[in-house]
Amino acid sequence: MKIRTFLSILFIVMVAPLMMGCLCSGPILQKMNERRVDTFNSYAVYRKGCTNDFALEGTRYDSHKSYHAFLLIREDILVAAQLQTNETLSLEDIRTIYDLHFFNGQETTRNVPPHFERVAILPKNDISIGIQDHYPGAGWVVLMPVTIVVDVVTFPFQVIYVLCMGKYGT
């Protein structure tokens, strides 16, 4: 009984590190973890009346196209940067807000939001605000159980393949 337990533990210890990057499940894991971020470059600041509601005018870039848009800055974003009492936003304020944090799911519109007026034009800048992240490969997760089974079944062949590739290059 002790030998059987010892052999089982030895097998798990030897096999576990090799199964972390197996030939079938490794590429699927890479595909699942791909990330794409929509960005926004601003060139004007808008404010709604006497409130602390701000919007930035600029260009929104996603994976397919770019277009003119307005980024609505939520109250919680201003509070996080301690800018909720400002009457306008400067380029430095925008850097302060977005350099340290990523706020996912920010809203953009194609038209000026109602009752917003332009309060500042920003100088040319290279600030790229990440506004929405996407994981387009998330659907590949349905293949993971199959690839794990294939990796376990073909494990001896994968070991030979990996050892030969290490010995002979590429």
Range of the domain at 118: 37-134
Q: What is d(CA 55, CA 23) in angstroms, rounded to the nearest whole number?
A: 48
Q: Nearest 5 degrees, angle CA 126-CA 132-CA 136?
A: 120
Q: Is 12 inside a domain boundary?
A: no
Is residue 79 included in any domain, yes or no?
yes
- Domain-located, residue 22: no
Number of other residues whose CB lies within 10 A of the CB of residue 91 = 15
The string of pLDDT tens digits covering residues 43-64 is 888 888 777 778 888 888 887 8
- CB-CB neighbours of 128 under 10 Å: 13
CA distance 123 to 42: 9
Q: Can you tell me the distance from the alpha carbon of 108 to that of 3, in angstroms, rounded to the nearest whole number?
A: 65
Q: What's the pLDDT tens digit per position in 109-148?
A: 888 888 888 888 888 877 777 777 767 666 777 777 777 7
Residues sharing a CB contact under 8 Å with residue 67, sequence separation 6 or more, in sequence order: 59, 60, 110
Contact indicator for 106, 94 with CB cutoff of 8 Å: no
Binned at pLDDT 50, 70 and 90, residue 162 comes out as confident
- Among 77, 74, 83, residue whose Cα is nearest residue 48: 74
pLDDT confidence tier of residue 85, bands split at 50, 70 and 90: low
94 falls in which pLDDT band (50, 70, 90)? Answer: confident
Residue 32 inside a domain? The answer is no
Residue 111 inside a domain? The answer is yes
Question: Is pTM beyond 0.75 here?
Answer: no
Identify whether 159 is part of a domain.
no
Total domains present in the chain: 1
- Return the minimum-mean-pLDDT range out of 14-23, 76-85, 142-151: 14-23
Give the mean model confidence (pLDDT) for residues 101-107.
68
Sign of the alpha-carbon dihedral angle for 119, 89, 56, 72: negative
99 in a domain, yes or no? Answer: yes
Q: Is residue 96 in a domain?
A: yes
The whole-number pLDDT of residue 136 equals: 67
Rounded to an integer, what distance in angstroms lies between the CA atom of residue 140 and that of residue 85?
45
